[in-house]
Every structure is written in structure tokens, then in C-alpha cells.
Structure 1
Amino acid sequence: MSTRSPSPFSGHATMESNSKKSVAQRRVYGKRRANAPRAVFDGSPAREATSKKFVNVDPVKSIQTKLAEVTIDDMTPQEEVSEPPKCEDEEEESIEPTSQQSSLSSAVDSPDTEATESSVKSSSGKTKRTQTMMEVRIYNKSSKEPLEATAEATDTNSEPSTTSEATDALFEPTQSTTEPLSTAQDPTDEDQEKLNALEKRRAVRKKVPASRRSSGVVHDNKASEYVRPILNEALSPIAAQSIQKFGSWASRSANMFDVAKLAEGSYGEVYKLHLRDEAFRPVVSKSKLAKLKSYGDGVFKVVPLRAKSGPGSKKFTSIEEIVSEVKMLKYLDPVPGFARFREIHVVQGRFPESFQNAWDHYKKTKNDCMNPNPSNKRAYPDTQLWAVIEMDDAGCELEKFTWSSIFQIYDIFWGVAMALARAEEYAMFEHRDLHLGNVCIRSTREDGCMDPPTEHDVARQCSSSGFGISALETTIIDYSLSRADLLLSDDPSGLTEIASSDLDKKQLFDAIGEDEDEIMQRNTYRYMRATLYSGNPTETEKLPDIPGIWAEYSPRTNLVWLLFLLQSLLKNRKPEAQPQRKALAPCSPNTKTLKSTGDSLKAPKTKPLQGGISRLKNTLEDRLKSVLELLDLETGHEDMCCAADLVAYAMDSQWLGEEDFF
């Protein structure tokens, strides 16, 4: 398994000279689920799935074609019917369909319209006695002026906030006029009843407007333009349309999901949505319930955005940083061991009740709540913008998990190492912030139990390398400080965009820490910076900042963080619980011989099993100690340059099997 050489420094976007391959040509090592569930708040399909090549269609002609099919049959002799006259606004040239035309097309094809057409037809009649003429006018909701079906009426470059108003065009047929033919007679009672029913249906449709999911959109062109780079990364049309009101956005699932706050950091906070129990949720159809269950628990990273100007313009997360993180989330989604991306939303306003209650509960029950209260108007104004990144639930953070078994440590460490190796090959990736809070674990057992494996669990495993016995699956999260090469899929020339963050502006390298674990983590930041600046992690004397240097690729930083991870796992291991022996039961001297005979029959099965497990534990311990020597900052293996090198070494040494990685 070869590693790609570091790319030369070339600013934000570079052209790779060594390999001219597109995204589809990149190989993803390992196996994972093909598709992640869609976002719970947006039921619409992804934009990529709905992007089609539209055929130029004149909407006026389309309407005329359907109206020409409307006839009234009767028992009178059939007369010749002249072709309906063309609309005055009809143009000969075809134009691109826009949101206005799409809404009109859907209105024509709707069930209500079909019912209208069918009601006008007579199933019993065989001849026509009258000719029905209908005049169709398309009005703008605000001006009530007819819209011209020309290219001037379509603006494909308009902002979503403005096009949402344009889609309010009304499809209102005017009062029909009937020209009697030479053999005209008075309409029959049956025809009159049908016409009356038709008028009633029209009146009902006018009184009951159709519900619109875009009612929670914030109509602020300046704010939408400011966050447009984030909206462009959204997958669904609803999330990509514009900024949404925080309360309206959250209300879409308020009756079905419970909200709980999981964690917080300098970036913002993390919340989890869990489907409510049957007794506490409204009754829904079986199909919708199955869809919600398949969605699973979702995790939402809520990040306050930096204001464009005025208060809040010098704090919080910038637009560029969020865009960089979302691009990496989307790009690394196929790689096993990395978070599954669902959607990105931009919302505005104060926290809705469900999220605020979750924040208050976290404040009361946890001692690490440091962020200001979202209801505090001094901390967050009413117009505060938030980026909400929606992802799969990756499980429990490693820093909140208690591990004791060497099987757990072995699976956690090598799971993270192999994920980094895959990402290095796939995107020249560096995480640069791989502390215990950015590694999540979950159990692959059916019951979700995360306890250490029992002797019988170990005996049932057929792993030849010792990996996978604990049934723990690892996921790397939070790429806010990470670096990756993102091949542009729409550019066949191989243009590469570098997603990175300038860590010299983050004030990460001067802090010392309060306890041993925090001191070790702060030192790791300095080792990482020294690795990038000088190539030697032990030269921690801070050199002057070099603008743009954090865009360079230095994969040895992944090894620096893997060393920190392994040291933390071994240092903070809890004592492994010993199985409790059963108390001896009283017995008579007559059963002594029988008891001893039974014990002698069981001993050959138990002792070899315990001895084999004990030897396997010692073997795994020795392997991890060898890894500490390989990754030592001063005396480590000189050929270890990236996580892929370490994984390749482990496979050659049979510490890992090919089936573990590929």
C-alpha cells in the first residue's frame, strides 16, 4: 500500500501533476453502507438525484393542448368544431422552464385538474352540440398583471428568496364563454348539474390554499447572499433554498423526536434527535413510521455563525470554515471509519423550545457546560445565524467511555489507524485534532452492549489477527481543523481544491493544561506544529508564523495524534473486572467421589480456554507496546511517515489481516 507524496504549497487550489484522476477513479478501501439516511427535516430528494436536462417547453402551448381536449358531448347531431384560437402572448421561440413554469405544469397535472376535465366530459353522449371556449390568464400574485411567456419573464439567476415569490403565480381560468352553434338548444338538467358541481369545486379550491413548506423561509436577500456558499453545499432543494427560521425548521419534527444535548465545544454544541416512544408521539401511517425508524438517531452540530458586520463580526465561526468542514464531510462520506453526512441547514433566530429545554437539562446535569445560554440576548442577538450540520449518530465519545479490556483498546486504536490510512490514500487527509472527544465508538452487537468481551465471546471469534473481538466500531468526527485534497468532480483536468484551516489563528499552541491528560494533549498540538514547520516533532520552539503553510500536506501529523491516542488508551485503562467465583455449596461425604469425578471431566475444557485467552491478551499487549516504540517522537522508526505506513507494517507483521482493512 503506497502513500502519495505531499503536494507542493500552492495556495488554496492546486493542480496535481502526479495523478490525473477524477473522484470516480479514486478507490475506497474497506466496506460500509452504500447510502446514509436522508435528512429528517427534508423529505425532498437530493439535488443531485433530481438534476435533469429539461426540454424547452412553451407553457402556454402546454396549457392550450390540455384545454383543447375539454369537450361537452350530447345526444344531438355532431357538428364540426373549430380549433381554439391561440393565446395572444404565445411566442414561437421555446424558453428554459423556470420555477414559475414548473409550478404551472404541476397545477395542470394535478388530480384536481384531472377531475375538472373528467367532469366536463359526458360518458353517455356521442355527439357534440356546443363549443366551449376558455380564456386562460397567468397573473402575478402581487401585481395581478398577466405574465408574458417570454424569456424576459424568466430569470434563472435570481436568488431563491425572490423566486419563491415568483412561484406564487396563480393559475386562474376566467369565466368560460359558450358560443351556441346553429343547432343550439337549452342545456339539459344533467348538463346543468355537472356545471354546478364544477363551479363548486373551483370555489372550494380557491378558498383552501395549498400548504407550503417554504413558509419558514427568511426573506432577507443580504443575509442569504452572505451565507450562499453554505447553502450551495446543501443536498436538498429546501435546505439550499434560503435561510430558514429556527423555530419553523425545528417544528417539523417536534412531535416525533426528543432532543438531547450531547456535548459542547468552542465551535458550538451537539444535539441528538431520538424517535419518541409510541405512547408519546402522534399516530402516523405505517409507511411514515417505517421511514422514521429507518432514519435512526440523528446528530446535529449547531454552530453560531460570524456576523458579516457589527456585533458578532469578530467571534464565532466564519462562513469559510463551515464550508471547508462540510466539503470534507461530503467528500469523506464513502470512507469507512468517517462520519456519515446527511445535510447542512442555515437557520436564524433564537433556540426553539425543544433545543432550549435540552440545553437547560444539560446545564443542570453536567459540570462541563461553559457556553453562554442561547436565550441570553447579550450573547446571541435575535438575528443570530446558525449552521446546523446533520449527521448519522456515530455512538459515544471516547472520552465519556470507560474501557478496561485489551481487546477494546486494540480495536479502538487500529480502527482509528486504518480509517486515517484510508483517508490519506483517498484525500491526502490530516485530522490535526484527534483527541478523545473526536473519536466515537459504538457496538456492532445486536443488543448494543459495549461491555468487554467474555471468555465465550473471545472463543467464538474467528479473528486470526485479534482485531474485532470487542465488537467496537470507531468513527472519526469533527474536521473543523483538518486538511484534505478535494478533487473537483466536474473538472476532468484533475483540478484539486485544498480544504484546510489556519491553525496559527486558533491560539492552540500556547496553552499548557491543568492535569496530566490535558498537558499531554496540549503538547501534542505543539508536536504537530513542529512536524509541519521543521519536520521534527521534538523541536517545539515556536517559529514565526508562515501564512498558508497549513494548506501543505504533512501526513506525519496523523502519527503524532495516533501516538497520543494509544498513550491515552493505555494510561487511562480501568482494571479489568475478574469473574466472581461461586460460593461452595455444602455436600455430604457420600458425594465427594462423584463431585471430584465431574470436576475432572470439566477441567480439560476450561483450563485450555483460559490459557489461550491469557496468551492472546499478552500478545496484543506486546504488539501495542511495539507500536509505542515505532511512533516514539525521538527514537521511532525513521520510515514511518504516515498512518498508511503504520497499517502496512502491521499487516506485514500479521498484527492485522487483509480482511480487517479491505
Structure 2
Amino acid sequence: MARRPLTERSAQGWNQQPGRRMGGSQKRVYGKGSTASSRAVLSEQFLDENEVDQQNVQGGHGKAVSPLSSSLSSALSYTLSLEDGAKHVSPAPAGSVSEKGKEVQNLLVVDSTAATYISPLLAECDKPKGLYDFLTWAEKAAKTFKVTKVAEGSYGEVFKLEKKDMPSERSVPTPEHGQQAQGSSIFKLIPLRPKSSKSAKQTSLESLVREVQMLKLMDPVPGFARFKGLKVLRGSYPPSFGEAYYYHKARRPSDSQNPRPSTYRDKQLWALIEMDDAGEDLENLKSPSVYQIFDIFWLTCCALSYGEEEAAFEHRDLHIGNICIKPTTTRSSTTKTPANTLPDANLPPTTSFGRSSLNVTIIDYTLSRATTATSSSSSNEASSPNSSKSSSAPPVTTKPSIIYTPLPPNSSIFTQSTSRHPVPNPTLQRQNSTYRAMLRHAQSVEARSRAEDPSRENRKRDMWQRFMPRTNALWLAALLWTLLRRFEQGAERGGGSKSVGSGGNDDAGEEGRERLVLAGLRSLLDLLDGEEMLDSAGAVVLAAIERGLLQRRDWDGVRACLDGDADSGSCSATK
């Protein structure tokens, strides 16, 4: 389905309910390899035909089982019975699993109490829906994959799993646009708060369920994290993950604040969320070039505008740690240091977008808000495909639901202060002021809504349920401010990236073009921080085009890059 040009949509249209929503069979596929089913799930690849006798393990309807992922579903014979309130785990029929398959059964544990508690989270898992033994799963994974800790957050740790037989990172070519990097995945390891606990150091079940639902919902939308799967684990920290934790702590002690692995006992519950590797977050981009700022900002803005349209999406926490960048073409000599990528000197001088060879992914939807799609299906769709009888039952309609996180006015994100820091941190101050601006806007929207509709039902509604896309515009302003400040700091240190040709010779025309782009970005920041309240990411695009701060040629390139258009010349400028 062709996407209408943005300028053909009214500005008011962006402020109302989303037009086309994601969900069910109505999901659109963008580019190559963008659906979850087309992406290899690394957490299952170490369970292959070497461990499961394919002659003895059969899938549904008598078909042979795929050795990559379906074999896991069949060979691990315990299946959690959610129909009975997830109160027991039942084994598969005797004789249906080979001797080697029985060894794989050890991955799942029987714990009826835990199964009952985590049943809402297990419902979000792919088959088999069960509780995995963390130590056993990690031991098998360590035989095939190298485990590296790459980051951490208040929710838990972030690890990368890479195949041990992959070439060294320097020799791995950057994938062409539309292709997925093979051989590695990112895993968020999140400790689940026990039912009887209120510890702030572990995540609640409700919060985890919301995050997984949000990941699934936003997965097909360009510019958002690619979700691969979810596993629920039980057990203490395995050695491979513990070693990765301590190696990271030794190298980056200031970035290792979470509890030590020894803190967790053998009955600890975990959520392991697998996603595509989206690259490095913007915290690592210390001295961005002008063209990197241009590309990052407009790719982020475009992704948010898609989210607004498709799912009434607000991020509500889009600081630079929640935006990842990654080289997208072979023009970059490394996949590790995106700040060193140089613009293509052969691009037309009238084009600004695509000169950084970067693409953007928005991550971490802990505080986000979105609306699920309305879907309908008839009862015969759920019947056996081998059945010759058709049902005349009326279609079953699923009402849209809102995924959101309540944010009381006294939440720490609204009350925290940087005054206690020994050294002023303007970036953190801007981030905190954005949280508070978001709260003021939400309270203003709530007050107007109650005045217009004083009904009891409207008064009882949590204000954070409402679709208020101006919050996206507020975070876009904070993003642009932060990137421009880092550019200016880099220029003062003499470390800012310069737009030079591939031969290294200064190009006066290119430097003049860079100054024009920089001036446009500064004018855009004045617009975002000005009195005119742009009320969505889509409205930011419209205002920028109307004022000549964004050329239509560049906007077409941004959309083609995110949509994965193979004919658009990757994420480089359209010629």
C-alpha cells in the first residue's frame, strides 16, 4: 500500500486518532526482513538437528520439524497449560521424543507456583510456553555463542550474543540497507520482582508485560526495535553471563551500577527479551558532524511520525540513550565507530540527507503509550486447516486497547534535580526539564478534557492514557538541542567531524553547504523551542517543510531509508 506524501495530509490529521493502525492481519511489511518470522532467533539456534532426532520428533499435522526453531517447540516436550490458569506443566505423550530430545527437556522446569504468577508473561511468549532453567539454557548457549555485556539500565542488563565462528568485527562488511546483520542478537535480561516483594531494583510483572506488548506492536513500524522473542527463565546468574558482567564492570566501572550476579538466588525469575542489534546509542556519539545531526534528527522524527499514525504512539522518554545508530552502507569502514563515518563526496550539492551513512532505531518503551489495532476474525479462521466444514458464525471483533504506564506527578522523573551534582550537566538539565514540560502539557490537556466532558467516566480516566503527541515534539527538541551542543563542544575541542571529500582535500563548496545545513538546524531548534506549540512529530515535519528548513527531496530520502526501499540507494541521498 503506497504511503501518501506527508504534505497531502492535513496538519490536524496528525493530531487526531491514527489513520492506519498496526495489528493482526492488517500489519504492513516494510522493506526486506522486517517481520519477526523472517528473522532468525539466536536463542534457539543452538538447539539444532544435532540435539534433536528429527525422525522421532514430529510437528503439527505430520510435517517434519524445522531444525532451526520449530524443533525447539517439539523437542522440549513440556508445555505450559494456560487453559487451566497455568497451574501445571504437562509432559508430551510417551514415545514422541527421542533420547537426545529427552536431554533437551531439561531446559524447562516444573514450578506450578511460579507458572501461575507469570502466566500473563508466558502468554506473550512463543511456543513452547514454559519456564526455562537459566543455568542449563545458558550452558548450551555458551557452546555456540560468545556472551558480551554491552550496557545496563535501571531495568537490568543488556548482552550481545555472537556466534563464535563469526569473523572478527573489523572484517565483517556492513550490511546493505534492507539486509539484517547475521550472527548476533541483543538480549535484555530483566530480573522479575517476586510476587510478595515491592523492591524497586526489580521489574514488576505488569511493567514487563506492557513492554513486551509494546515491542510486538511497534515491531513492524520503520525505525523501531525489531523484536525476536521472549523467554522466561528461573535460576541464579550463569557463569557465562557473570563473566561478561564482571568484564564490563572492570572496563567501565562508572557504567556498572546494578546489583552483582551473586545477589540473585536459584529461584530468581527473569525475562530475556531478544532483539536485533541496532548498533550503539547516541551516548557514544560525542562529536557528531552536521550531516550526522541532520540524518539522525529527521530519521527519528520520521519514525515517530509513523508511530503516531500507525499506533497513536508516544515515546515519553526519548533521551539520547534510547536512540541507536548504525552504519547502513559499505561506505563506512567500521561498524564500531559510527562517529567516524564521512559523507559521500559524490552526492549532489542540493541534497543534505544521507551523507552520514547512518540509520536510526528507537528503543526502550518503558514509559511509552500506544493504541492496539481493532481486529476481527471469524471462528472458522481458528479451526483446523484440514477441516472441510465452514463456520457461519459472526466475526469476533477485538476492541482497541491502550498500552501505557501511569506516571504520578510525584514520580522521580518529574521531581529529580541536578543541583546536587558537583559539576553542572546541561544535558541532564535539559532532559529533566523535558520530563516536566511533558507533565505540564499532560495536565493542561487533562484540564481541558474535564472542562469539555465533566462525566464521571472521563474524570476517572488516567490522563496518561490520552494520546498527546506533543510529547514527541518536546523530545525531538531535546534531541536536537543535545546533538547541536555536542557538535559545538567538538568544534571547540577541535574534534568535530568535518565534511571533506574522500580524497581528504578541503572543498569550499561543501563547507559552504555544511554551514547552510547547520544554520537550518539552529533555526529548526528555535522553531521547536519557540512559542508556536508544534503538537506532534508529524507537525514538526510539516512546519519545517513550510518554512524551507526541510527540502522535499530530503524528506523523500528519509522515508525511503526507513521504509527499506532497495531502489533508493540505501540510506544515502537520492540522486
TM-score by length of 2: 0.72
Aligned partner of 1:485 in structure 2 is 371
Question: Identical aligned pairs, as a percentage?
Answer: 34
> Residue by residue, what CA displacement relative to the aligned partner does 1:349-408 show, whole Å, maximum 9, x if unpaired?
1111010001111111112211110212xxx33311111111000001110222331011
Q: Which amino acid aligns with 2:153?
A: G
Aligned partner of 2:147 in structure 1 is 259
1:416 equivalent in alignment to 2:305: no
CA contact (8 A) 2:149 2:160 kept: yes
1:372 equivalent in alignment to 2:259: yes
CA contact (8 A) 1:20 1:493 kept: no
CA contact (8 A) 1:421 1:643 kept: yes
> Residue by residue, what CA displacement relative to the aligned partner does 1:553-611 show, whole Å, maximum 9, x if unpaired?
1100011111111111011221265999xxxxxxxxxxxxxxxxxxxxxxxx999x812
Aligned partner of 2:450 in structure 1 is none
Aligned partner of 1:534 in structure 2 is 444
SS of 1:219's equivalent?
Answer: coil
CA contact (8 A) 2:414 2:432 kept: yes
Q: Which amino acid aligns with 2:464?
A: W
SS of 1:386's equivalent?
Answer: strand
Q: Give 1:43 deviation, angstroms.
A: 4.9
Q: Which amino acid aligns with 1:259?
A: V
Aligned partner of 2:40 in structure 1 is 38
Q: Give 1:660 deviation, angstroms.
A: 2.3
How many angstroms apart in 1 are the aligned matches of 2:511 and 2:206?
A: 52
How many angstroms apart in 2 are the aligned matches of 1:362 and 1:107?
A: 44
CA contact (8 A) 1:20 1:494 kept: no
- Structure 1 residues 41-60: aligned runs within 5 Å: 41-43=43-45
The partner residue of 1:228 within 107, 115, 119 is: 119
How many angstroms apart in 1 are the aligned matches of 2:360 and 2:166?
A: 31
CA contact (8 A) 2:15 2:469 kept: no
Aligned partner of 1:157 in structure 2 is 83
1:169 equivalent in alignment to 2:56: no
How many angstroms apart in 2 are the aligned matches of 1:42 and 1:579?
A: 41
Q: CA RMSD in A?
A: 3.8
SS of 2:360's equivalent?
Answer: strand
CA contact (8 A) 1:6 1:552 kept: no
CA contact (8 A) 2:227 2:274 kept: yes
CA contact (8 A) 1:32 1:334 kept: no
The partner residue of 2:519 within 613, 618, 622 is: 622
Against the structure 1 CA distance between its residues 484 and 579, is the aligned structure 2 distance closer, same or farther, given a 3 Å change threshold?
A: closer
CA contact (8 A) 1:411 1:470 kept: yes
1:305 equivalent in alignment to 2:192: yes
1:509 equivalent in alignment to 2:509: no
SS of 1:375's equivalent?
Answer: helix
How many angstroms apart in 1 are the aligned matches of 2:272 and 2:283?
A: 23
How many angstroms apart in 1 are the aligned matches of 2:154 and 2:59?
A: 46
Aligned partner of 1:524 in structure 2 is 434
Gaps of 5+ in 2: 1-5, 48-55, 65-76, 169-179, 378-395, 447-458, 561-575
Q: Give 1:535 deviation, angstroms.
A: 4.8
- Structure 1 residues 645-660: aligned runs within 5 Å: 645-652=539-546, 653=548, 654-655=550-551, 656-660=554-558
SS of 1:326's equivalent?
Answer: helix
Aligned partner of 2:320 in structure 1 is 436
How many angstroms apart in 2 are the aligned matches of 1:644 and 1:506?
A: 29
How many angstroms apart in 1 are the aligned matches of 2:259 and 2:301?
A: 36
Gaps of 5+ in 1: 8-15, 46-102, 112-140, 142-154, 173-204, 281-292, 537-544, 581-604
> Residue by residue, what CA displacement relative to the aligned partner does 1:253-278 show, whole Å, maximum 9, x if unpaired?
20121111111121111111122247
Aligned partner of 1:218 in structure 2 is 109
> Residue by residue, what CA displacement relative to the aligned partner does 1:268-324 show, whole Å, maximum 9, x if unpaired?
1111112224799xxxxxxxxxxxx97422111111111112x45665211111111
Q: Which amino acid aligns with 1:636?
A: E
CA contact (8 A) 2:187 2:272 kept: yes
CA contact (8 A) 1:407 1:470 kept: yes
> Residue by residue, what CA displacement relative to the aligned partner does 1:231-266 show, whole Å, maximum 9, x if unpaired?
11123x13x2x1111111212320121111111121
Q: Which amino acid aligns with 1:255?
A: K
Q: Which amino acid aligns with 1:511?
A: Q
Q: Give aligned pairs, total.
A: 463
Aligned partner of 2:211 in structure 1 is 325
CA contact (8 A) 1:264 1:369 kept: yes
Q: Give 1:164 deviation, angstroms.
A: 3.4
Aligned partner of 1:637 in structure 2 is 532
How many angstroms apart in 2 are the aligned matches of 1:385 and 1:375?
A: 14
Q: Which amino acid aligns with 1:630?
A: L
SS of 1:42's equivalent?
Answer: helix
How many angstroms apart in 2 are the aligned matches of 1:275 and 1:20?
A: 36
CA contact (8 A) 1:267 1:317 kept: yes
SS of 1:157's equivalent?
Answer: coil
> Residue by residue, what CA displacement relative to the aligned partner does 1:69-115 show, whole Å, maximum 9, x if unpaired?
xxxxxxxxxxxxxxxxxxxxxxxxxxxxxxxxxx997799899xxxx
Q: Give 1:548 deviation, angstroms.
A: 1.5
Against the structure 1 CA distance between its residues 547 and 341, is the aligned structure 2 distance closer, same or farther, given a 3 Å change threshold?
A: same
Q: Which amino acid aligns with 2:367?
A: L
Return the index of the structure with the highest Cα Rg.
Answer: 1
SS of 1:41's equivalent?
Answer: helix
How many angstroms apart in 1 are the aligned matches of 2:444 and 2:398?
A: 30
How many angstroms apart in 2 are the aligned matches of 1:468 and 1:217?
A: 47
SS of 2:187's equivalent?
Answer: strand
How many angstroms apart in 2 are the aligned matches of 1:436 and 1:327?
A: 23
